[in-house]
C-alpha cells in the first residue's frame, strides 16, 4: 500500500473535558496504531492527561482521526495491557490512576534532554520578586465571627434580587453574550455611574471618561500602565493599602511613602519631582481611618498641578458614612484634571462580583479605553447589565433597587453590637 508523503492535520479529539491533539504522519515508518499509542502515552507521562481523566471511545477516536476502528482498538488494547488506561464496563475508558513503575522511569529518562536544551541555566523568574497582598481566606467558613477587612456579611447580599436581575437580562440577551462589546464597559451602566457620582460625590464626568474594571485592583493596573514609567516616583500613604502600592512597584515605580497624621497625608513631605503619581484614600484613609482635611486636599491638588503629577483617588467605601453628609470627593475639587477617581461595588454589593470603575481626566479617556482593550477587552456583559438592572435605571425607570442593599448594610453596620460595645467603653 502506497501512502502520500504528507502529514495528516492535527484533529482535536474531544471527550468530556479532555481534548487530545494527535498528529498522524503517514510518511512515518511506524504504523498508525503505534503513533496513536506513543502520543497518548506521552500525554499521560507529561501530565497532560491525569489519573481518571475520561478518554474518547474507540469509535470517536477512529472517526476523528480518519482511521479504521480496528487501528484505534489495537492502540487502546496496548495502552490497557501496559497499564496506562483502563475500562469501566458500561461507563467508559479512563486514564489509569496508578501508572506502572516503567512509566515513571520513562518520564525520568527524558530529563537529560531538557538539560541539553539549556535547562541548566536558571530561567528568569520575575514573579518571584513581586510583592503581593492577601485577600482570599480559605478558612472563612469556619469562622464564628469574621473581622476580615473589606468583606461584607454574606447574609446581606441581595441574592434573590440579583438572580432576578440576571434572568431579566438573559431574556433580552440578543448577541451580547456572543459578541465583544465596548472595552470601556456597557454605556448605559457608565451613564448610570456618572449620574450617581454628581450628587453623591460631587464628581461631574461624562460617560466617555468612565471605564468599567474588575474591581479597584484592576483599576490600579489600568492607571499604572497608563502613567508609570520605570523609575518614576509613586507617592503612597504610610501606612497604605498594599494592593495599590505593590502594583505601582511591579510596574517599575519607586515608592515614596509619606506619613499620615490626623489631617491625612502630610503634603509638606511630597517629593518635588516632575511626573510623579500619588495614590491616596482621602475620604477614609486606609487603614487608619482619618479624613483628609480640606486644606490638605487643596494643597495636594496644587502640588499635582505644579509638578505635572497625577493623583489616584481610591474612594473604596464612600457609600458607608453614618454621621453627617457625604464628603465631596477630591475629584470633585479638581479643576485642572489631575485626579483619577476609582470606585468599586465591592462594599455595597460584594467583592465576588469584581466590578468597579475608573473616572479618567478627559485627556486620558481614550488612552484608558485602549489600555483596557489591551488588558482584557473589557468585563463581562452579563454582570454589567445585571448591575444596571439593579440600579433601577432601566428604560428610564428608577425603582430604587440599587439603594436597598446599601441601606440594609448601613443598618447592619451602624447597629452592630461590637460597635455599640466600643462606643460604651
For residue range 281-320, list pLDDT tens digits in order: 999 898 998 999 999 999 999 999 999 999 999 998 776 6
- Give the C-alpha separation, 69 to 57, whole Å: 10
Q: 155-405: same fold as 12-108?
A: no
**Which has the closest alpha carbon to 369: 261, 152, 207, 162?**
207
CATH topology for the 155-405 domain: 3.40.640
> What is the DSSP annotation of 101-126?
HHHHHHHHHTHHHHIIIIITSPPP-G
pLDDT at 141 over 90: no
Q: What is the mean pLDDT of the chain?
A: 79
Element (H, E) at 211: strand 210-213
Contact yes or no for 343/189 (Cβ under 8 A): no
Q: Where are the domains of the chain?
A: 12-108, 155-405
Between the CA atoms of 203, 204, 207 and 210, what dihedral angle is there, to the nearest 10 degrees?
Answer: -30
pLDDT in tens, 186-226: 898 899 899 989 988 899 999 999 999 988 899 999 999 99
- Give the C-alpha separation, 398 to 395, whole Å: 9
**Which has the closest alpha carbon to 61: 9, 25, 11?**
11
Query: Of the ranges 13-22, 113-122, 348-357, which one carries the lowest mean pLDDT score?
Result: 113-122
Residue 126: predicted pLDDT: 53
Phi and psi (nearest 5°) for 191?
Answer: -65, -40
Residue 300: predicted pLDDT: 97
Residue 91: predicted pLDDT: 87
Give residue 97's pLDDT band: very low, low, confident or very high (50, 70, 90). confident
Residue 377: predicted pLDDT: 82
Between the CA atoms of 237, 240, 244 and 247, what dihedral angle is there, to the nearest 10 degrees?
Answer: 80
Mean pLDDT of 223-238: 95
**Which has the closest alpha carbon to 234: 275, 194, 264?**
275
Cell of 143: 469562622
Give residue 18's pLDDT band: very low, low, confident or very high (50, 70, 90). low
- Give the C-alpha separation, 326 to 57, whole Å: 64
Q: Which strands, in side-by-side order, build the sheet including 92-95?
A: 54-55, 92-95, 85-88
Angle (CA) 50 51 56, round 5°: 75
- Give the C-alpha separation, 313 to 311, whole Å: 6
Give residue 82's pLDDT band: very low, low, confident or very high (50, 70, 90). confident
- Give the C-alpha separation, 357 to 379, whole Å: 11
Phi and psi (nearest 5°) for 146?
Answer: -100, 115
How many of the other CB atoms lie within 10 Å of CB of 3? 10
Q: Which is higher by pLDDT, 295 or 145?
A: 295
Cell of 335: 479643576
3 state SS of 198: helix
Between strands 356-359 and 339-344, the pairing is antiparallel
Between strands 277-280 and 233-238, the pairing is parallel
CATH topology for the 12-108 domain: Arc Repressor Mutant, subunit A (1.10.10)
Helix locations, 82-178, DSSP H: 101-109, 111-114, 159-171
Q: Which is higher by pLDDT, 244 or 16?
A: 244
pLDDT at 136 over 70: no
Cell of 319: 457609600
Give residue 402's pLDDT band: very low, low, confident or very high (50, 70, 90). very low
Q: Which residue is it, cell 497582598?
A: 133
Amino acid at each position: 500500500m502506497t501512502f502520500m508523503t504528507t502529514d495528516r492535520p492535527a484533529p482535536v479529539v474531544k471527550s468530556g473535558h479532555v481534548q487530545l491533539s494527535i498528529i498522524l504522519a503517514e510518511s512515518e515508518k511506524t504504523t498508525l496504531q503505534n503513533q496513536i499509542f506513543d502520543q497518548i502515552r506521552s500525554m499521560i507521562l507529561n501530565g497532560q492527561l491525569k489519573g481518571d481523566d475520561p478518554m474518547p471511545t474507540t469509535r470517536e477516536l477512529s472517526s476523528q482521526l480518519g482511521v479504521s476502528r480496528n487501528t484505534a482498538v489495537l492502540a487502546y488494547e496496548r495502552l490497557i495491557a501496559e497499564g496506562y488506561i483502563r475500562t469501566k464496563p458500561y461507563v467508559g475508558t479512563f486514564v489509569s490512576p496508578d501508572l506502572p513503575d516503567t512509566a515513571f522511569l520513562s518520564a525520568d529518562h527524558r530529563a537529560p534532554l531538557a538539560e541539553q536544551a539549556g535547562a541548566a541555566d536558571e530561567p528568569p523568574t520575575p514573579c518571584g520578586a513581586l510583592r503581593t497582598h492577601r485577600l482570599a481566606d480559605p478558612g472563612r467558613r469556619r469562622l464564628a465571627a469574621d473581622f476580615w477587612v473589606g468583606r461584607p456579611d454574606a447574609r446581606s447580599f441581595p441574592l434573590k434580587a440579583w438572580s432576578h436581575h440576571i434572568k431579566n437580562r438573559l431574556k433580552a440577551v440578543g448577541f451580547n453574550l456572543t459578541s465583544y462589546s465596548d472595552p470601556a464597559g456597557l454605556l448605559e451602566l457608565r451613564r448610570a455611574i456618572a449620574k450617581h457620582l454628581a450628587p453623591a460625590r460631587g464628581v461631574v464626568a461624562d460617560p466617555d471618561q468612565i471605564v468599567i474594571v474588575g474591581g479597584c485592583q484592576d483599576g490600579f493596573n489600568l492607571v499604572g500602565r497608563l502613567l508609570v514609567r520605570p523609575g518614576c516616583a509613586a507617592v503612597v500613604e504610610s501606612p497604605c493599602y498594599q494592593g495599590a502600592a505593590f502594583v505601582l512597584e511591579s510596574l517599575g515605580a519607586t515608592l515614596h511613602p509619606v506619613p499620615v497624621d490626623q489631617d491625612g497625608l502630610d503634603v509638606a513631605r511630597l517629593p518635588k519631582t516632575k511626573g510623579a503619581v500619588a495614590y491616596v484614600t482621602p475620604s477614609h484613609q486606609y487603614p487608619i481611618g482619618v479624613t483628609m482635611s480640606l486644606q490638605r486636599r487643596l494643597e495636594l491638588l496644587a502640588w499635582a498641578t505644579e509638578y505635572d503629577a497625577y493623583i489616584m483617588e481610591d474612594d473604596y467605601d464612600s457609600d458607608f458614612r453614618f454621621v453627617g453628609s457625604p464628603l465631596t470627593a477630591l475629584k470633585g475639587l479638581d479643576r485642572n484634571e489631575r485626579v483619577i477617581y476609582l470606585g468599586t461595588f465591592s462594599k455595597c454589593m460584594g467583592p465576588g462580583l469584581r466590578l468597579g470603575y475608573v473616572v479618567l481626566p478627559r485627556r486620558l479617556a481614550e488612552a484608558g479605553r485602549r489600555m483596557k482593550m489591551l488588558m482584557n477587552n473589557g468585563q463581562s456583559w452579563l454582570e454589567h447589565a445585571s448591575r444596571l438592572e439593579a440600579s433601577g435605571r432601566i428604560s428610564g425607570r428608577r425603582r430604587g433597587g440599587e439603594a436597598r442593599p446599601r441601606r440594609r448594610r448601613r443598618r447592619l453596620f451602624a447597629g452592630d453590637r461590637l460597635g455599640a460595645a466600643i462606643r460604651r467603653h
